[in-house]
Amino acid sequence: MSKLPIDVPKEKLQQVRMDMYRKVQREKRTKKRIFSGAIAFLFCLSFLFSIRVSPTIASHVAKIPGFQAIVSAVVRDKGIQDIVDNEYYEEINVTKSKNGLSLTLQGVIADHTGLVLFYEADASSDISKLNLEEVQLFQGDKKIEGGGSFDGITINQTRISSSVEYDFVEPFDYTSKDFKAVFHFKDKDKGNIEITVPFTLQNEIAKEKIFTANQTVNVGGQKFTITQIRRSPLEMALDIEVDEANTMEILSFDDIEVVMQDGERRKSKRHPLYKNVREGKYTLYLESNYFHNPESLKIIIGAVHAVPKGKDFIEVDFGTKEVLSKPDYFDWDISVTQQDVSVAIDTRAESRFLLLTDAIKEDGTRLALKDANVSQDEQYVIETTQFEDYDGKAKIYINYFFNPIGEDIELNIPLK
């Protein structure tokens, strides 16, 4: 996973949240790679249906050079299948080489919510000594902030077939379609290798489809409203507002799914975006159904998690490195060292992460987030959050805690 810039606090905050979320999800699954080439892409289309139906066929085809990532994309995200079927994927096929390393940017999927780069790298020497450290994306000469996510480490491979995924916090402006991607590799023998690949998008960017929902849900006396549904090729977004009169702080909506008319389910994608800290506005992201036109959407929410209001934070003193208070339900050990706050979560606990990324100083201003990471041993998952230099007291808000107040909620929302 790439290092994340901190130039724009809002984007940094969301990117670190997503970064932490992805790191935790690696315990459950290995991130699959995405690939598509010019000839291989056209040829493999005939395999896609059988790939979706038969994991056995998929496992065999994935071993063929040039097929691995497109197979992974189709298996990982049903919305990618729709993009391929509807020819929204855009071929680029630009190759640049440096220090014996050849990199081909094979294609792009771009919309207002994100951008995915599909690439392949090959080398004349042992590529297992090569790590991808960072991928910078520029629109013209302007760097796109927020960072992309990718697999950085190669093990026992002769080539890399993968992707870089950018999730945009705000709708992206494609006024200019001229881009360049700068890949920063580190070779154990050759040192740093930087490869710049310019590309220009030719296709029209699909317009977002927005539907007003305004459907209110009451879960155990706690209310929230799905205000609108926004659909783009790469993802579907559900905008949610929480009732101010609630007595509990809703922290998470887990296992969100949309049931298609044929019974197929589109599932959650990236971690929810919290638009405003404790202002009760959320955005949930799912696999896209952009290229379908159902009359209604059946939405399933696996669980709504909440804790009592006023008991959704821990308080620490960075000056004395002490924990001043924590909620009664919070049983785990907390340590404060310099500007880091670490929590040791028992691996047997149902709350496997807390997302302690929001902090407020004594004077009410935000304590800036610098970094966050998750590590694990046999007994504990260690979540560590690093903030800016500060030697006073701060409240650090809990953004996730396993405490379901409602489960298996089904909604039918008309699309008009």
pLDDT at 45 over 80: no
Instruction: Supply the pLDDT for residue 403.
Output: 94
Query: Among 147-151, 335-339, 389-393, whose mean pLDDT is lowest?
Result: 147-151
Per-residue confidence band for 184, with pLDDT thresholds at 50, 70 and 90: very high
Q: Say how far apart CA 366 and CA 341 lie, in whole Å.
A: 16
End-to-end CA distance of the chain: 40
What percentage of the chain exceeds 90 in pLDDT?
A: 51
Residue 214's alpha-carbon distances to 184, 232, 388, in angstroms, are: 45, 20, 39
Instruction: Supply the pLDDT for residue 77.
Output: 85
Instruction: Supply the pLDDT for residue 8.
Output: 34
Neighbouring CB atoms inside 10 A of 349's CB total 12
Instruction: Supply the pLDDT for residue 394.
Output: 96
Residues in the chain: 416
Global confidence as pTM: 0.78
For 85-121, the pLDDT digits (tens) are: 899 999 999 999 998 899 999 899 999 999 999 998 8
For 190-213, the pLDDT digits (tens) are: 899 999 999 999 999 999 999 999
Instruction: Supply the pLDDT for residue 408.
Output: 94
Cβ neighbours for 335, distance < 8 A, ≥ 6 positions apart: 341, 342, 344
Instruction: Supply the pLDDT for residue 7.
Output: 35
Q: What are phi and psi of 339, to 5 degrees?
A: -110, 15
Counting Cβ atoms within 10 Å, is residue 306 exposed (0-12), middle (13-18) or buried (19+)? buried
Instruction: Supply the pLDDT for residue 2.
Output: 36
DSSP letter string, 6-49: -SSHHHHHHHHHHHHHHHHHTTT-PPPP----HHHHHHHGGGHH
| Average pLDDT rounded to a whole number, residues 268-290 | 76
Q: Which residue has the tokens 């208070």?
A: 325
Per-residue confidence band for 9, with pLDDT thresholds at 50, 70 and 90: very low
Per-residue confidence band for 55, with pLDDT thresholds at 50, 70 and 90: low
CB contact at 8 A, 306 and 282? no
pLDDT at 187 over 90: no
Instruction: Supply the pLDDT for residue 88.
Output: 94
Instruction: Supply the pLDDT for residue 245.
Output: 94
**R_g of the chain computed on alpha carbons:** 22
pLDDT at 52 over 80: no
Neighbouring CB atoms inside 10 A of 309's CB total 12
